[in-house]
Amino acid sequence: MNKIINQLLQIQDLTLILRENDILHKRRDIEARATESLKRNISEMKEYLSGDILSDLQLLSSKYDIFVVPMINDTCTGCFMKMPVGIANNVRQTSQCISCPSCRRFLYEGYQSRRPSGNFQQYKGIARFSSVDLMLPDLSADNHADALREIALLTAEKGFVENGEEFAEALLEREALASTAVGSKLAFPHARGISACGMTLALGISGKGIDFGEGETVHLVFASAVPTQTSVFYIDMVSKIARYFGKAENTSKMIQCKTAEDMWRIFVKIGK
């Protein structure tokens, strides 16, 4: 990938994390600390950009939440316009920073993985992005890194992401930027920009609880693969989950589930 596009993608990710933090964190002290370090990271990254790119970035980010998008099947996934052959080829060559002629967003070449066959398309609400195959009633890990790996490998095994190791690594990298534990026994680890078949959400339960740092013990780990173009939608999805499990009785019902099928029965009710 083009170095500048990579830099812009990281700025976009950090900006989205700032927003997630603001929406999800219940503990204001943790939120404020994370916000400060994220803002510092963003301005350090901007120092590497040339004046032209920086002014494009300023303009685009005032207009769009997602200003760097993958081109998939020669189509801009920001505005869904099919790219002329010349532009599509330039994006593939990656030597320069190419913008979509229609919406002006920066483009990079992306790939769409095929969804595993299954019948989850019939579901509404949050269940659209998951499957009974992605419910883990009994995480064996006793620390957060192992828990993320356990869930990532299962997600790959079931065919929802292409590479489980890559997914685990990306989840850990994101976690290192700011903890995704949000209070009320919940954590929302997630990774953007990995090869996945659309937005994918897996849920692991830890009966004994897992230490996610900052004094947060997490029992419900919602781990997602988030394609870049669905980032804003992801924030909306986790807000719905956080609202549902803001009720302690919903959380304890879920924690008590012994099978994937029991979990799924609760899961399909969320965000409907």
Asked if residue 70 binds Zn ion (CB under 5 A), the reply is: no
Q: What does the H/E/C string look like for 97-114?
A: CEECCCCCCEEEECCCCC
Asked if residue 204 binds Zn ion (CB under 5 A), the reply is: no
Stretch that binds Zn ion, among 77-85, 110-118, 146-154, 239-247 (CB under 5 A): 77-85
Stretch that binds Zn ion, among 21-29, 96-104, 165-173, 255-263 (CB under 5 A): 96-104
Asked if residue 102 binds Zn ion (CB under 5 A), the reply is: yes
Query: Interface mask (CB under 5 A) for Zn ion, residues 28-67, using x and -?
Result: ----------------------------------------
Q: Are 195 and 111 spatial neighbours (Cβ–Cβ below 8 Å)?
A: yes
Residue from 72, 103, 141, 177 touching Zn ion (CB under 5 A): that is 103
Asked if residue 78 binds Zn ion (CB under 5 A), the reply is: yes
Residue from 45, 79, 141, 197 touching Zn ion (CB under 5 A): that is 79
CB contact set of 249 (below 8 Å; sequence gap of 6+): none
Residue 102 tokens read as 């229609």
- Say how many C-beta atoms besides its own lie within 10 A of residue 166's C-beta: 15
CB contact set of 245 (below 8 Å; sequence gap of 6+): 184, 185, 186, 220, 251, 254
Residue from 57, 76, 223, 225 touching Zn ion (CB under 5 A): that is 76
Asked if residue 252 binds Zn ion (CB under 5 A), the reply is: no
Q: Rounded to the nearest whole angstrom, what is the least distance from the CB of residue 71 to Zn ion in the complex?
A: 9
- Among positions 209-238, residues that touch Zn ion (CB under 5 A) are none
Query: For residue 195, which phi and psi values (nearest 5 degrees)?
Result: -75, 105
CB contact set of 143 (below 8 Å; sequence gap of 6+): 210, 211
Binding site for Zn ion (CB under 5 A): 76, 78-79, 100, 102-103
